[in-house]
Amino acid sequence: MSESEESTKAGGVNAEAAAEESQNNPEDTTPATNTGNSNTDRLARFAALKKRATASSRSNLSEAKAEAQRGAIDPTVLANLSRRSAIAQHNLLKADTEEQDGTGAFERKRAWDYTIEEAERWDERMAQKKANRDKNAFQDYGAEAAKIYDRQIRELEKQAAKGGGGGREEYERQKTELIEQAARNGGLEIVEMDGGELVAIDRDGKFYADSDNTGFVEQKPRKENVDRLVEDLRKAEEVRLKKRKERRGDVDEGDVTYINEKNKQFNLKLARFYDRYTTDIRESFERGTAM
């Protein structure tokens, strides 16, 4: 047998062996097929991710627009609109009810649903409102000062409650303890005032004191109490300046040269006619160079 025939025979044997091996391992595929399937899967996943990103972007944009619209609307306007809508519905229901059943039917039907406790609470509320209206009327300067004092004390108590401090109850408790301690030690003294009122004064002057005692200098308030008092004084000063500016028409007119509105108008009239003659004299007086 020649060399060419031997090589042809060997090649055929090798091809048959490769075919048998491929039949025994059916899971093996060609590289070209694997590459095509992989690219198709990647393209599908990329398309799905791109679709999700587009949907998410649109959703975020719509939410941002809705949030901007909600922020552009003043909440006080919404509250006023809802309040007016509720009032309009109430008036409409009242008009329809009284048109069908006569005058006073609306309140009469509303009263059917009230319990005795609710009616009593309503009467108490109306009585309290009437008492508050009566208190608002000017009585005298002492009563006005007492109302202002009570209001300031209530504000200080609210601030103290926020900071974890005590209010008027804590004050009364400390006062009672000091009185009891002074009574046990024999340090209380009953003094009759000019008006005949009997007042208990402790001789050490730690709580009650007369004009001769100096024990109050030993009492040092806590820092948070002093801070609350300073803040209350600052707020009162801001309110005073605000009302003063409102009375002036929110215009800073410089120095006040009048005692009331009529005097202000008179001074303005004088200034309109005579300022051109007295400007130099007034400026000289202000500089201190007038003869």
**Per-residue pLDDT tens over the stretch 110-156:** 878 888 888 889 889 989 888 877 777 667 788 788 888 888 888 88
Domain span at residue 274? 259-291
Q: Evaluate whether residue 275 is within a structural domain.
A: yes
Question: Does residue 157 come out as left (phi exceeding 0), alpha (psi in the -120 to 50 range) or beta?
Answer: alpha
* CA–CA dist 109, 34 (Å, integer): 83
* Phi, psi dihedral angles at 251 (to 5 degrees): -125, 130
- Whether residue 30 has pLDDT greater than 80: no
Summarize the confidence of residues 236-261 as an average pLDDT. Answer: 77
What sign results for the dihedral spanned by CA atoms 141, 230, 160, 242? positive
Q: What is the pTM of this model?
A: 0.35
Residue 123 lies in a domain: no
pLDDT of 54 > 70? The answer is yes
* Residue 263 belongs to a domain: yes
> For 225-243, what is the mean pLDDT?
86
- Whether pLDDT at 16 is above 60: no
Note the pLDDT tens digit of each residue in 39-51: 888 888 888 888 8
**Domain-located, residue 13:** no
Provide the residue type at 248 as one letter. R
Give residue 172's identity as a one-letter amino acid code.
E
Please write the tens of the pLDDT for every residue from 152-210.
888 888 877 776 666 777 778 877 787 777 777 776 776 777 777 767 766 665 555 55
Question: How many domains is the chain partitioned into structurally?
Answer: 2
Helix, coil or strand: residue 24? helix
